[in-house]
Structure 1
């Protein structure tokens, strides 16, 4: 408890997130949102920002991905034991669900930094003696179950989280909602402030990550009335969360003074989705030290001392000899290729241009775009060999996403003997770190405008890996054609129909591979070195979570 007592000397920012990615051993994350939350917390600890994080324990994890030879995905439980990593705190609080009290306890995990900073993370848990069997399972699975299960989780996170902070005597200056899952905390704050909306808005910050209307959590009021039985609460929710359905993002928007999207483009899209609200932008970043391979860490330590806590020093990468940068990249690539060959036996080699694509498998990410025209792909490969590494999980209920994995496996089979292509099973943080540092080219092909931010390309840039991406999300801000990498398809302000845009993207993808990228990689290494240097000095120095956290402090927290 010493660490908590130290933090309690001042006011804290309470950071609420449904998922937080800390390590493979604590599988309380599903993808980008959770990884971002973990990076946010790590940077807050490094910078000694007085933050306390609140999430759910999800002791049965998200799921472990198992793939058949055909590419069919199966999900297995990924249970873990909180007591192996955390301390159970004494207080219990309760939340009312379906007219009865559900007990909530909290596990404490301290995220400590070498700078001496520490961010306590509270993992809320309903597996408490006295709760019914059903209620004990509310905090079991991340994004598990149906709408009823999800709303119960959001009651525990938002309302239970505020009550737990109070029980632990935290003095909270601001409540930061990382996406709308925790927005019921605003309902709790309204009750505590005698329904003074101005006071609550002054206390709340809302970061939205979703660029499409369908992606925001909405609940039918029949279900809401079943789980939240207080009539006054229901009146408040209808007033601030929508008359027809409870829209958790709308609730957060109406009760927050500071609202932001996660890139400049995303803020503009969010403004169109929710006209009448002032939506700022703070572009995401990644935790530099976490996502830099050991080989580049050693190099940066030698030439740019202090870079880990001042990533802006990476702008001085020009002072590092090219041959040492190339040696660091070669070591990271060797580590990845060795791992791929151990896992798959595919026989990839160290010299071939290696392209990586790893992210959640869902339709708008379009992981199969590179296979749109196999004859053109073969033509590129015959001119200069390529090998492809894929990874990613589909949500258990996303049948289309699962279908994409099977489709990639069919292409792997069809191109067997011509191109070495693998799909790695059970994509997690450890695998992501090897992929973003070990490939030569990072491919990203989202359908515009559905990529709110994306951060994998930022991680790749920290390791001198070059980006090749559709102009959406963060890449609009990081892209300088032929200098920091390459774009796929039209610029954001160019007007195309969906069909025209797709045709343009496919042409650009193959043409740039054939005429620019493959020849440069094999025949003009001096030009490739410039791109590696620019990835570090013009992307990594800026697109990091230290810069992001400083923006949150000055724009939202103070």
Structure 2
């Protein structure tokens, strides 16, 4: 029986990782049955917890148990996107018996803690908070219903539950972490709780580290000081006191800036993102130097082990056969969803991740004449699959998704899949020969989907952004759209440059290699698999957090 009132991780922490850490994240993608994530941030924190478990680190995760998850992606009658919210059941979670109150909008709200034991999915211990309790009024119950609620006040309430609620839970557990690690700034309200507990900003700073994932200032959340105050976000501190503590002026409270000013160490999530962040925050005083620790994904969870075994045994026939089988199996899902039968011997391009404007999901369709030629080419045939979840209130992204659905109806070899979560993500990586990634440079902080694509025998084809800059050897382990002078190009010119080069490389290099030089193609695939294996594996990342951020 776990003693939740004097909690210790239920395994002997390794000596080099004995320092105790509480890791706060708004979302965790640990395994398909636990649907409390939306995209990259969750995939990252899920892999982090899996590696913390493998390395036996003295780390616990603090998150929220979203009753309806992010949303379930289904279809309207014409196959366009339909967001739906269903109640999630998680019978594998353990009731800790811990309940406590957190002030929200000057009213006490009851919070309950659930527990995911390490053995369940092979992850570090994870505590999840919920306000969905009969003791609360209906409005308070809904705080932990939907991840990233579109209502501003609800979102601030969610941040209070994660930050203040998470810090309070740690005291209820009597865990006493030496480090509080905020993964993105959603949990920064914890600093006001810690101020009351520790009495001095310097004492809070000694314990706090912060990871930023946002490469542009507009993407860093800001909320009106008076609204935050009214919502009890500052835990009893007045607006003037908060402004003095954070060095902010004006009407807007900047969550990331507060996190930076309360942390003694901070990091971006790729080398490029580290540079971009240092530039972006460079004019602000009293912030720590922003280091970089490149995001990574957990090999044990994501990789196809048989592909690796055939590669290591230099069994080319076995390797090709395995990749063909993985494609064929994944195409069953495509057939089930879309009624289209794909061919495992045809080059398959997949674009799948969160749908957001800067990621340009439909870029390849912008030159329709070239697109038409590509998908009707009989000498070098291709198949294209799209998948991903737009934010349910991002009507621009939803309309792009829907336009691709309508476009796909014209072709047997073009498909759009729904339900892009962990399981489909893995299957589509196995389905793909080319993992297409074309964000506008330099707007992708890290972007990790290509890492797990490589772990499943797919070749990255990407613009030069995020983690790719540390990985890419064009024509050897991936294909890269050459960089333009992005700072001096208009958005339209940048899109045009990237689009032209995308087609040049596809038609001039990728298709001829795939169809005419199987050996060279296999070498490129295997170089990617090798290069991703240790450098972009989350054990390396979890180790670096201890060495660079927690020491």
**Alignment correspondent of 2:366:** 372
Mind listing any 5+ residue stretches in structure 2 that lack a counterpart?
A: 13-17
1:441 and 2:434 aligned: yes
**C-alpha offsets along residues 394-421 of structure 1, whole Å, 9 cap, x if unaligned?**
111101000111221232234x2xx510
1:511 and 2:519 aligned: no
**Alignment correspondent of 1:109:** 116
**Alignment correspondent of 1:427:** 420
1:346 and 2:344 aligned: no
1:280 and 2:274 aligned: no
Q: How many residues align?
A: 534
- What displacement does 1:491 show? 5.8
1:328 and 2:322 aligned: yes
Return closer, same or farther for 1:198/1:326 CA change in 2, 3 Å cut-off. Answer: same
| Contact persistence 2:20–2:179 (CA under 8 A) | yes
Secondary structure of residue in 2 paired with 1:92: strand
The within-5 A match list for 1:145-184 is: 145-184=150-189
TM-score, normalised with respect to structure 1: 0.91
Greater displacement, 61-70 / 526-535 = 61-70
Return closer, same or farther for 1:477/1:494 CA change in 2, 3 Å cut-off. Answer: farther
The within-5 A match list for 1:408-419 is: 408-414=404-410, 416=411
Secondary structure of residue in 1 paired with 2:144: coil
Return closer, same or farther for 1:120/1:483 CA change in 2, 3 Å cut-off. Answer: same
**C-alpha offsets along residues 165-201 of structure 1, whole Å, 9 cap, x if unaligned?**
111111201000000000111111111111x222211
TM-score, normalised with respect to structure 2: 0.92
**Alignment correspondent of 1:74:** 82
| Contact persistence 1:56–1:124 (CA under 8 A) | yes
1:205 and 2:209 aligned: yes
Secondary structure of residue in 2 paired with 1:107: strand
**Alignment correspondent of 2:15:** none
**Alignment correspondent of 1:142:** 147
| Contact persistence 2:144–2:158 (CA under 8 A) | yes
Partner Cα separation in structure 2 for residue 137 and residue 95 of structure 1:
15
| Contact persistence 1:45–1:112 (CA under 8 A) | no
Return closer, same or farther for 1:230/1:532 CA change in 2, 3 Å cut-off. Answer: closer
- What displacement does 1:233 show? 4.6
1:250 and 2:250 aligned: no
1:222 and 2:226 aligned: yes
Secondary structure of residue in 2 paired with 1:551: helix
Secondary structure of residue in 2 paired with 1:476: helix
Secondary structure of residue in 2 paired with 1:102: strand
Return closer, same or farther for 1:452/1:71 CA change in 2, 3 Å cut-off. Answer: farther
Partner Cα separation in structure 2 for residue 204 and residue 504 of structure 1:
42
**Alignment correspondent of 1:464:** 457
Partner Cα separation in structure 1 for residue 496 and residue 71 of structure 2:
36
| Contact persistence 1:108–1:120 (CA under 8 A) | yes
**C-alpha offsets along residues 197-224 of structure 1, whole Å, 9 cap, x if unaligned?**
2221110110001111121121112211
Return closer, same or farther for 1:319/1:235 CA change in 2, 3 Å cut-off. Answer: farther
Partner Cα separation in structure 1 for residue 337 and residue 3 of structure 2:
41
**Alignment correspondent of 2:58:** 50
Secondary structure of residue in 2 paired with 1:128: coil
Greater displacement, 151-160 / 330-339 = 330-339
Return closer, same or farther for 1:280/1:385 CA change in 2, 3 Å cut-off. Answer: same
1:25 and 2:36 aligned: no
Partner Cα separation in structure 1 for residue 112 and residue 291 of structure 2:
35
- What displacement does 1:493 show? 8.0
Partner Cα separation in structure 1 for residue 431 and residue 403 of structure 2:
25
**Alignment correspondent of 1:124:** 129
Return closer, same or farther for 1:156/1:233 CA change in 2, 3 Å cut-off. Answer: farther
Greater displacement, 67-76 / 164-173 = 67-76
Greater displacement, 215-224 / 69-78 = 69-78
Partner Cα separation in structure 2 for residue 318 and residue 464 of structure 1:
13
| Contact persistence 1:71–1:405 (CA under 8 A) | no
Q: 1:263 aligns with which of 262, 270, 290?
A: 270
Secondary structure of residue in 2 paired with 1:104: strand
Return closer, same or farther for 1:385/1:166 CA change in 2, 3 Å cut-off. Answer: same
**Alignment correspondent of 1:392:** 388
Q: 2:24 aligns with which of 13, 16, 37?
A: 16
Mind listing any 5+ residue stretches in structure 1 that lack a counterpart?
A: 304-316
**Alignment correspondent of 1:65:** 73
| Contact persistence 1:45–1:118 (CA under 8 A) | yes
**C-alpha offsets along residues 394-453 of structure 1, whole Å, 9 cap, x if unaligned?**
111101000111221232234x2xx51000012111100101122111001111121111
Return closer, same or farther for 1:514/1:20 CA change in 2, 3 Å cut-off. Answer: same
Secondary structure of residue in 2 paired with 1:7: coil
Alignment RMSD: 2.1
- What displacement does 1:325 show? 2.0
**C-alpha offsets along residues 503-533 of structure 1, whole Å, 9 cap, x if unaligned?**
2211111111111100110111111011011
